[in-house]
C-alpha cells in the first residue's frame, strides 16, 4: 500500500477511529476530507493524520464533519402524516405496545418527534425509544434536548407549547419526553443489531454508503424487525430488492416485514 495514498489514509484512519471509510461513497467522502484537510493546513494525508492524532478538538471537529449530522423535527412532514395515520394504526392492530429504534439519530430531532407523536396519541411503548448514532458529541447534544428557534420551526405549535420549555431564546424538550428516549452510541457498520423491533427509522443515513454497504444494512434492518414490523427510510432512498429481504412496500418509504 502506497504511503499517503487514499487507501493508506483510510486504513490508518480506521485504526485510529474504528470508522470504516471504505463503506462510504469514495468521491463524496474524498471531497469532504480533502476540503477539511486543506482548511486545517495539511498538505497531505500523512501530515493530516499527525495533526488529528495530536489535536483532540480538531479530531472531534473532523469526526463531526465526516459523520454529517443533519437532522430536523418531523422531516418531510407528509411522510410523518403517513406514519401517524396509516402505519401506526396498522402496527397497533395486533400489538399492545411498540418497540422502536431511530438509527442514525444525530442530535435527537427524529426520536423526539416520535416521542411527542406517541405521547400525543397515547401510543404505548414496550420500552424506551432506542436512538443511536456513531457520533457521541451529537448524542450528548441530543440528551440535553436544547434547540434554537430555527430548529423547532417545523413542529406543530400545540407540540411546542405542550412539550417544550422556553428560556433564553432556546427551547428544551420537557423531561417527560426526554425520558421516553434512550440514547446510545452505535456503529451501524460494526456493532450488532438488536432484534424484534416493530418500527425502525433509518432516514437519510444510507445515502452516503456504497451500494454493497446499503444492501447489507437493509438486510440487517430486515432481520432486526419483528414479523409485521415496518422500516421507515429517507425521502431520497429506495429498497429495490425488498422482496428478497422479506419486505413489502406499504407506502412510499415504508417497508413491512412479511416473513
Q: In which residue ranges of the chain is pLDDT below 50? A: none
Q: Is 1 a member of any domain?
A: no
Using a 10 angstrom Cβ sphere, with 0-12 exposed, 13-18 middle and 19 or more buried, the burial of residue 22 is middle
Q: Which residues, including other chains, have CB under 8 Å from residue 122's CB and lie 6 or more apart?
A: none
pLDDT in the model for residue 70: 66
- Residues 117 and 49 reside in one and the same domain: no
Mark which of 67, 91, 109 sits at the end of a domain: 67
- Residues 223 and 157 reside in one and the same domain: yes
- Residues 117 and 20 reside in one and the same domain: no
Answer whether 173's CB lies under 8 Å from 164's CB: yes
pLDDT in the model for residue 121: 95
Answer whether 105's CB lies under 8 Å from 131's CB: yes
Q: Is 125 a member of any domain?
A: yes
pLDDT in the model for residue 186: 96
pLDDT tens-digit series, residues 71-130: 899 999 999 999 999 999 999 999 999 999 999 999 999 999 999 999 999 999 999 999
Q: Is 213 a member of any domain?
A: yes
Q: What is the residue range of 16's domain?
A: 6-67
- Residues 196 and 121 reside in one and the same domain: yes
- Residues 30 and 96 reside in one and the same domain: no
pLDDT in the model for residue 219: 96
DSSP-based three-state secondary structure for 185: strand
Q: Is 72 a member of any domain?
A: no
Mark which of 67, 90, 112 sits at the end of a domain: 67
- Residues 209 and 241 reside in one and the same domain: yes
CA pair distance 253, 100, nearest whole angstrom: 17
Q: Is 138 a member of any domain?
A: yes
Angle, helix 6-17 to helix 26-39, in steps of 10 degrees: 80
- Residues 137 and 23 reside in one and the same domain: no
pLDDT in the model for residue 25: 83
pLDDT in the model for residue 150: 92
- Residues 134 and 36 reside in one and the same domain: no
Mark which of 16, 35, 67 sits at the end of a domain: 67
Q: Domains in the chain: how many in total?
A: 2
Return the CATH number at 162.
3.40.50.150
- Residues 38 and 95 reside in one and the same domain: no
251's enclosing H/E stretch is strand 247-251
Answer whether 185's CB lies under 8 Å from 103's CB: no
CA pair distance 19, 13, nearest whole angstrom: 7
pLDDT in the model for residue 147: 97
CA pair distance 259, 257, nearest whole angstrom: 6
Amino acid at each position: 500500500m502506497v504511503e499517503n495514498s487514499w487507501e493508506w489514509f483510510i486504513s490508518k484512519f480506521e485504526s485510529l477511529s474504528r470508522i470504516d471509510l471504505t463503506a462510504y461513497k469514495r468521491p463524496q467522502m474524498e471531497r469532504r476530507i480533502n476540503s477539511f484537510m486543506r482548511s486545517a493546513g495539511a498538505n497531505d494525508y500523512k501530515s493530516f493524520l499527525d495533526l488529528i492524532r495530536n489535536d483532540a478538538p480538531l479530531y472531534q471537529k473532523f469526526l463531526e464533519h465526516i459523520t454529517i449530522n443533519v437532522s430536523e423535527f418531523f422531516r418531510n412532514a407528509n411522510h410523518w402524516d403517513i406514519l401517524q395515520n396509516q402505519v401506526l394504526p396498522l402496527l397497533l392492530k395486533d400489538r399492545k405496545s411498540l418497540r422502536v429504534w431511530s438509527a442514525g439519530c444525530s442530535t435527537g430531532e427524529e426520536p423526539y418527534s416520535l416521542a411527542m407523536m406517541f405521547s400525543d396519541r397515547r401510543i404505548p411503548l414496550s420500552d424506551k425509544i432506542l436512538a443511536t448514532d456513531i457520533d457521541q458529541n451529537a448524542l450528548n447534544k441530543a440528551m440535553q434536548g436544547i434547540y434554537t428557534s430555527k430548529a423547532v420551526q417545523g413542529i406543530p405549535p400545540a407540540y411546542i407549547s405542550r412539550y417544550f420549555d422556553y428560556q433564553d431564546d432556546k427551547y428544551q424538550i420537557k423531561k417527560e419526553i426526554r425520558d421516553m428516549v434512550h440514547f446510545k452510541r452505535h456503529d451501524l457498520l460494526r456493532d450488532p443489531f438488536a432484534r424484534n423491533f416493530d418500527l425502525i427509522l433509518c432516514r437519510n443515513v444510507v445515502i452516503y454508503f456504497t451500494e454493497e454497504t446499503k444492501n447489507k444494512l437493509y438486510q440487517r434492518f430486515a432481520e432486526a424487525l419483528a414479523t409485521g414490523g415496518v422500516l421507515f427510510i429517507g425521502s431520497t432512498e429506495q429498497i429495490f430488492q425488498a422482496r428478497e429481504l422479506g419486505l413489502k412496500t406499504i407506502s412510499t418509504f415504508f417497508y413491512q416485514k412479511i416473513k
